[in-house]
Structures are given as C-alpha cells and as structure tokens.
C-alpha cells in the first residue's frame, strides 16, 4: 500500500464514497419520481409517461430504442452529476484531511459509472439471466410504480433500509 496510508482508513473512505453516491442517487431518484407522479413539467421531470413510455411492456425492443434514443438510457445526466460530485469530494477532503479524498472519489465515481452502465444493460436487453436478471426485474418495478425500488444496483441496501424494496409479484 502507499506509504502513510492506513488500510482501515482507505476502506472507510471507499465505503463512504459508495454510501454517499448510492444514498444521494436513491434520494434524488425518489424526489424525481414524486414530481413525475404528479405530472410536473421541470427540467428533470416531464410528466409520468415520459419516464415510462420507452420502457413499457414487452415487444419490439428495436422500435422502442428508435422512438427516443436520447431518453432511452438516462438514469441520471452524467455530464451534470459527475462535475457536481467534485464539490462533495472537496468537502470530504476538507473534513477528513490528507489524501482521504482520493479513495472516496474513486469509489463514488466507480459506483456512479457502474450504475450508469448496468442501467444501460437493463434497457438494452429484454431479459437478462442470473442475478442481473433478478435486478433487471426489480428495476422494472421501479419504472412501473414511482414508489418502489429506487436502488440502481449499487444502492439496493437503501431500499431495504427505507422499506421500498418490492419484488415484481408484490406490485402486480
């Protein structure tokens, strides 16, 4: 390990990066869904059907992708969220001092990118297998309800903590 770096402190910084990203994403998505469910017209919510329209039901996935390719895979506007995250990296660095900001930043951005890529995967494929298939089905509950499964993979723990986790059979 790098000189002067304490393993336990690095682990704490990595966990803090995941925790910050996953909780912020969960809470941000809940807020967005509340506004969408009310049909609000804002820069981030365009009425309830906008979020669902491309993803609704089974069918020809290629025609759905053609319908609106710019909306298709949006889980969060990465070009906006990523630079905004630097503010939190700076604050974390000021609070923890030293080089603690680096593992925090690496963890936060790694989970941010993982969530983005897995979200794209969920919507590119009709039905995934194994654990990804299970998470994909849970994610579709999120698209159908506005009240459940705000997890985006790396933050599923928050749906357990907030009691918003639902299996597809629980909401049909």
Residue 118 vs residue 29, higher pLDDT = 118
Q: What is the pLDDT of residue 76?
A: 57
Which two structure tokens, joined as six digits, stand for 15? 């966990």
Structure confidence at residue 14 as a pLDDT band (50, 70, 90): very high
Residue 86 lies in a domain: yes
Q: What is the pLDDT of residue 89?
A: 93
Domain around 111: 7-171
Instruction: Return mean pLDDT, the chain.
Output: 76
Q: Is the dihedral of CA 83, 85, 87, 89 positive or negative?
A: negative
Residue 75 lies in a domain: yes
Residue 2 lies in a domain: no
User: Rounded to an integer, what distance in angstroms lies between the CA atom of residue 128 and that of residue 15?
Assistant: 28
Q: What is the pLDDT of residue 1?
A: 47
Rounded mean pLDDT of 34-49? 62
Residue 136 lies in a domain: yes
Residue 38 vs residue 21, higher pLDDT = 21
Rounded mean pLDDT of 4-11? 82
Residue 83 vs residue 75, higher pLDDT = 83
Structure confidence at residue 57 as a pLDDT band (50, 70, 90): very low
Estimate to the nearest angstrom the gap between the alpha carbon of 28 and the chain centroid: 9
Residue 1 lies in a domain: no
When divided into structural domains, the chain yields a total of: 1
Nearest to 4 by CA among 100, 108, 124: 100
Q: Is pLDDT of 64 > 70? A: no
Phi-psi region at 15: left, alpha or beta (left = phi > 0; alpha = psi -120 to 50): alpha
Rounded mean pLDDT of 45-50? 52
């Amino acid at each position: 390990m790098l000189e002067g770096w304490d393993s336990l402190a690095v682990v704490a910084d990595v966990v803090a990066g995941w925790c910050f990203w996953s909780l912020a994403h969960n809470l941000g998505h809940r807020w967005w869904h509340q506004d969408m469910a009310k049909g609000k017209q804002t820069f981030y919510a365009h009425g309830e059907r906008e979020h669902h329209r491309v993803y609704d039901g089974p069918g020809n996935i290629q025609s759905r992708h053609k319908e609106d390719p710019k909306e298709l895979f949006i889980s969060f506007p990465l070009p906006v969220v990523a630079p905004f995250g630097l503010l939190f990296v700076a604050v974390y660095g000021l609070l923890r001092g030293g080089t603690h900001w680096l593992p925090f930043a690496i963890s936060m951005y790694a989970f941010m990118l993982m969530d983005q890529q897995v979200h794209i995967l969920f919507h590119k494929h009709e039905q995934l297998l194994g654990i990804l298939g299970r998470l994909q089905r849970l994610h579709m509950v999120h698209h159908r309800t506005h009240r459940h499964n705000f997890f985006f993979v790396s933050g599923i723990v928050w749906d357990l903590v907030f009691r918003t986790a639902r299996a597809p059979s629980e909401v049909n």
